[in-house]
Structure 1
Amino acid sequence: MNSERETTGNKNSNEKTLNPGIGALENDPEKEQVQLKKTKNLLRLSEIKIQALTEAIPDLIFRINREGIYLDYKAASSDLYHQTDSIIGKNNREITPPDFADLIDAKVKLTLDTGEMQYFEYQLSIPNKGLCSYEARLVPNGPDEVLAIVRDVTSNKLTGEALIESNLNQRAIMDSISEGLLLIDKTGMIIDSNEANATFYGFSIDSIRGKNLFEFFPTSFKPEQEKLLNAVFEQGKVLTSESKFHNRWYEYSVHPVIDTTGIIKKAVINARDISHQKNLIHELETALKENRESTEFLENLINSIPDVIGIQDNKHQIIRYNKAGYEFLNTSPEQIRGKKCFHLIDRDQECELCATSISYKTKKPAHIERYFPEKDIWLDIRSYPIFENNGEIRLVIEHLRDITHIKSVEAALRKSEERYKELFNSSAGGILIGSQDGVIIQVNSTFAEMTGFTPGFLIGKHISEGIFTAESLKATPFRFDLLKQGKTVTSERTIITSDNRLMQVEMHTHILPDGTYQSIYHDITERKRAEEEINRQNEVLKKINLEKDKFFSIIAHDLRSPFTSFLGLTELMAEEIDSMPKEEVRFIANELKKSASNLYNLLENLLEWSMVQRNMKPFSPQKINLRSVARQSTETLREAATGKQITVTLDIPDEITVMADRPMLDTILRNLFSNAVKFTAKGGSVMISAGEEHNGDIEIMIEDSGIGIPETMLGTIFNISGKHNRPGTSGEPSNGLGLLLCKEFIEKNGGKIGVKSTAGKGSCFYFTLPAG
């Protein structure tokens, strides 16, 4: 490998320096105006994009400063404030109620002071709409203003309130019933209970939830338990039976509850104490069997029963009723002689379903529930056969109880449940209902559609299991502690849908009266994307503003200074050239040459930078011999190095080639070499070297023994917002534009740039390019 080291010492050079020519300064004002106009067009284009983006968002968006002045405003599809005129430039207090204005001012101040997003909910009375609910997010947008996004959530609030009201109605209906009501799952665990049932077992409603119903029964009831659960949950049957419990007789019915997917996961148990009726009927049976003829005994016995008690023979002929029966049928013993039971309700034939007939056929007690439209009444009818010694039925005792109120309650419960389901599944937001332990027990159709998960897949899972991303759960843990305090918890999370899409949702969770948790979900994926795009466009605007400021700064200061020097020298020559010695004229001519060269280099960088910002810079990468380009690119600048007695060393092997755009590579090497010479004192040194990296790229280094770079400047040296316009060691002007160009061009060519420097000891700028 031929690696020749080429060194230029501190001697006078006989080579001529390329004269850029004064012509490079012609028509500069026009170029400045063109560049200014294009910069303004870029700003306008970016503003149009942001406007189009915000118009696509259905929320109300506005910018407001710390003083409460609206700087910009985009109304939702229905203007939340119903302002016919633009509110831009107006104070918040001019258009909103005082209390609400105080709230906005406080939230704006808090957002700006903390630098964090503020979320809050509020209500406003809106003309023609009444009291409406809104949620707002305020995010910092610079040091003195915030960006606010406001959404109308009235419909969601109404849905949530209706669901809560529906739950409260169900609770009131359940607790108004004197009989026991239980809601159990397929294991027998008590999901809910009414007040009467909880009190019977010696618990409160909250404390009985979660206990297993069969814990209260003896172990001998185990076979009956399995039979009951199988019949209800597997076969979907309604069971009705009687059972003796703690020396009391209870009649119970078990009804399966079918969910929206057609699966039975819960059952309702209705139980009532029938000990009194049982005892009385037993005494009546005993009296009849013993053929007691004591009229007084029989009368007192059956008339003490509040329900209807009737005695019929095997031909349905009525023998008698108790006092309650005569009152209920509005008849008397004389009027019922020779009549059958169905005659008393104005029928001329036996009822289609008759408990007495069933008892005669089966020779067993029978039980039915029937509605009698003639009296608009529901009756619970039970028949008990009394046998002769030969085993034939002698009489049937019929027990009737008015259950119209219970049926009305059941109908109201069904209606309430239907209304709840309708509200539940028609909600615009996805809804999950969870147990006190966070296990999902109910899923509405909206959530299923949002996520693609079926209710059957979700029910039974813990809320933290397989629905949210791990990062989402870690960033925002579930706050069951706040929920138990009755607070509504709002959070933003990321859901993994059934087809592995990531969906960003807003989650509002609160506790329901029965102790379960209700979470309402809204898909905010598009809104978050829009917010991210707005933030990105804001960053673009900030960058454009910085570039514009940098451009104006260079025009106002860096371009003006060389012109001032240039004009001063030409004015001196014009006035005094006749009296000037030859040496002084030569000195002024050299100074003019320096000023013209500096102006040319500055204008060249400005034009290059302008073309890059407008994406107009041609890009044609090609295989280039690095040593040859480095020598040519720095040739015209070596005179400045010689003038400062700086030793320049070129240590690049001949065979190294790179794949790069030639004009861009010229600009990179010229600027980095110029900076090295500019910030190196007289008698110093500059070295340009290159070598191959492990990954095959070529690394180029420009090292100097100059004044170095302060640590405070290193972090922003390639950033347009940085202040890097310090003069060179001989007062050479500097504006920092060259380094910006170098970074842009190096990255365009697929490389990276970096710097290592120690103040007072020199710097090393290094960058990479793909090998050729």
Structure 2
Amino acid sequence: MLKKPILFWIFLMTIQVGSFGQPDTNASYQSDTMRVNRYIEHCGKILFFYPDSSLKYVDTILQLSKKTNYQYGLVKAYNLKGILSYVNKEPDEALKNYRIALKYAETTEPPRLKALVLGNMGLVFKTTYQHDSVVTYLNKTIQYCEIHDIPDILSKAYLDLGTHYSNRGNYVEAAQNLMKSREIMTSVNDSMQLVYVYNSFGYLYMKLNKFDEALYNLKKAIEIDQLVQKVNILANTYINLGELYFHTKKDYDSALYYYERAVETAIPHEKDQIQMVLSFTKGNIFAEKKELDSTILYYQKVLSDPLLEKYPDREAGLRVNMGGYYLYIKDVKNARYFLDSGYKLSDSLGIMVFKKNALMALSELDSLLGNFKGSLAYYKQYKIISDSLVLAEARNQMAVLEFEKDLAQQKYDNHLLLEQNSLKSKQILNQRNMIYLSLLASILLVVFIYLLYYNRGRIKKLNMQLSVKHHDLTLINEELQVTNETLNTQQDQLKALNNSKDKFFSILGHDLKSPFNSLLGLLDLLVQQWDIIEDKEKREMIQSLYTSSEITYQLLEEILSWGKAQQGLIKCQPANFNVVQKVRLVTDLFKSQLKEKNQQLRIELSPEMQLHTDSRLFSQVIQNLMNNSIKYTPHGGTIIIDSKSTSEEISVCVSDTGIGIPEDKISHIFNLDCDFNRPGTDNEKSTGMGLILSKEFAEIMGARLTATSIDEKGSSFCLSFRKK
């Protein structure tokens, strides 16, 4: 195993002696430039495997290029020096070399030299968290490549820009750029670059919590990588697979397996930093399992790794996690140190998730120490960041929905265009057939006139043939009518989807805006008149703020759940369970509300009653129906949960003696476009999303949700399951 490196060094020394051992007068310009080109080609092959050895080649390339004023060699030398600095996590040195390379590339052919340098500069700015510069330089690369027709670097720039947007959480822009990259790579049949595209799509789908799509793309990247054998990102792909199983499935064994595979397949200069990632992940896994001794063992191992200072984002996350560990074991001194340092580093890098986690832990730490004022201050900062992240995620999810809707529209338009082309082709064929038939009829007519008295039988036969052709044309026209009716039906469905989307955005714009106006008004009043307002009024206002925030959060949860159901992200996971046990777990959540309104709850279910469906979705539907009954039943009323059975179905029903639902509204309460949102008997607020969401969950379980009501006398909602 040791012989190959020794032979390599001997070979390298021989090259260097040959390069500098001869007098300058014996080396022509042509031989020097040919030698530089050979060194450039060889350096490109070993750069990522033996970066230290590559540096010696780069120095030789630079010296020979300077001696002969070889502009191409100078661009390549400084570009390679920039890559080596980038690999060694020295971004400032990398940018310095790239700027020199860019200066030489401005006046050097071919144009792809400048494109390469611009793209590399964009990648370096990613490591220094200068996000605007990343976008600027990659867009410069794209514009330059489009002008000079450089498809391979153009596709790479779109790929890098898409990956950057994925890391920043801008999933729509990420998908758009990755799709452009994939389109270009497919057109030029670039299998090597397709590995990177599939890997990036896998990472994007992982961010969107789409496990199956992410797994498919990452497996596809590995498949192509192993076939091409010229791409060296297997380790990166295995890391993404580990992240996918860890964060999406909480499958720790699979996550560790893929992280170990990443270490095994890593190229030499990446192995140490991937080993560090593996240690960090093991610490996180043990933290999830509450195995504290193993957690701190791996965290300390990462903290002492000299490579950590080159990855400030990982150091920020590590310090926040260690602060959380020490807070958990009540080591307040170490908890304070690591949480403060983790927060400051996260703040300098603009990593909002780490900042949020650090602020929440600092709030708990001050609360533990009795510093409730400091705890409240940290919690307010945490709440601001948390709310901004939730809103940003909601906006992003809506943008993704809009993007997917546009994709669906494009597919529909393409399908419609294909149908139209098919119809035109059939019309042309029919017209051609009609021409042929007309021509044949004319010929036959002449023959008919000529042989009028000799060929009567032939005339009858031809008439029959014409009848058959006419019948065929009739069938074709009927098929065209059916196709047109299908297209009209699809167009109506698309209009219905657009109407649902408009109503959805209307709910967001009205029902989310109103609570926030209330929150802002109360908060402004507290800020402006804190010293004037009595303590009792302050408590009432803070309680009002809490209630409004809780309602707003519940609405947002319901809207996001509805969005997930619409996308098919919520799957039914059926299993047998005892109905009474599940119902009692739900009703226990409403004990205080039932007591407050002096309402009587009667559960009239058989203790042995079993169902085979998704218990989580079943419980959510019962919870929504209970909440609805309590809200619209007056003080002293009665709520009954019982079952009904027929030969085909078994139902669980929630009935009440509340105010009921008007007859003209009962058929619309499960529709998104229903505007019947009245307050409860104690003026409780309602958006109607609970019933809409319950209807969605019922359909996911394969059940029916029905409602019957008598105005001012009460309502009954039944969740019905077909008997097996």
Q: Could you say whether these structures have the same fold, taking a TM-score greater than 0.5 normalized by the shorter chain as the test? A: no
**Greater RCO, 1 or 2 (C-alpha within 8 Å, sep 6+):** 1
TM-score (norm 2): 0.42
Larger radius of gyration: 1
Name the structure where strand makes up a greater proportion of residues. 1
TM-score between both structures, scaled by the size of structure 1: 0.40
